[in-house]
Amino acid sequence: MAIDVDAAIERAFRDALQPEERLTDATSGEPVDDTEPFKGKRWQEINSEILSRHHYALSWFTPEAFQYYLPAFLRSGLTDPKAVYVISLLLFLKPTEDPVLASFRRQRWEQLTEAQIEALENWLQWLVDHSKPSVKEEFEDALSVVRDRYWW
């Protein structure tokens, strides 16, 4: 099943446009430090070591960079579902009542095409199917958000 999910991720994101230069709206500090390792790299080149060290990049990416690099997080999550970058991604899916945070998240999630949303949904279903009971609920909650198209 992981191979099928991996192939679905590849297909869904193969035409995503790589950001030219700007990966974050910030000009210095932590946002730049966390997004710099992604600069100039194709999403297929981003490994779990980079994701583990720079998982906060999800919070700093422009909407376009978020869409482009998301499949790196998804693909690596198939190998290590308990990784910090998977948890960061799950937190990014959680509904919020904070209107500023909700707008920020929506701007990123709404970049995804229907095929990319379906790949995300398949990834989450794979995590649900392959997780231990202690974390299964978190994956199920995230899957619910995607199935309900909360951010779209």
Number of other residues whose CB lies within 10 A of the CB of residue 44: 12
Q: What is the pTM of this model?
A: 0.94
Which helix (H) or strand (E) segment holds residue 60: the answer is: helix 57-60
Tell me how far apart the alpha carbons of residues 6 and 9 are, in angstroms, rounded to a whole number: 5
19, 24, 70, 13: which is closest to 41 by C-alpha? 19
Encode pLDDT of 12-63 as tens digits. 999 999 998 789 999 999 999 999 999 999 999 999 999 999 999 999 999 9
Tell me how far apart the alpha carbons of residues 69 and 79 are, in angstroms, rounded to a whole number: 17
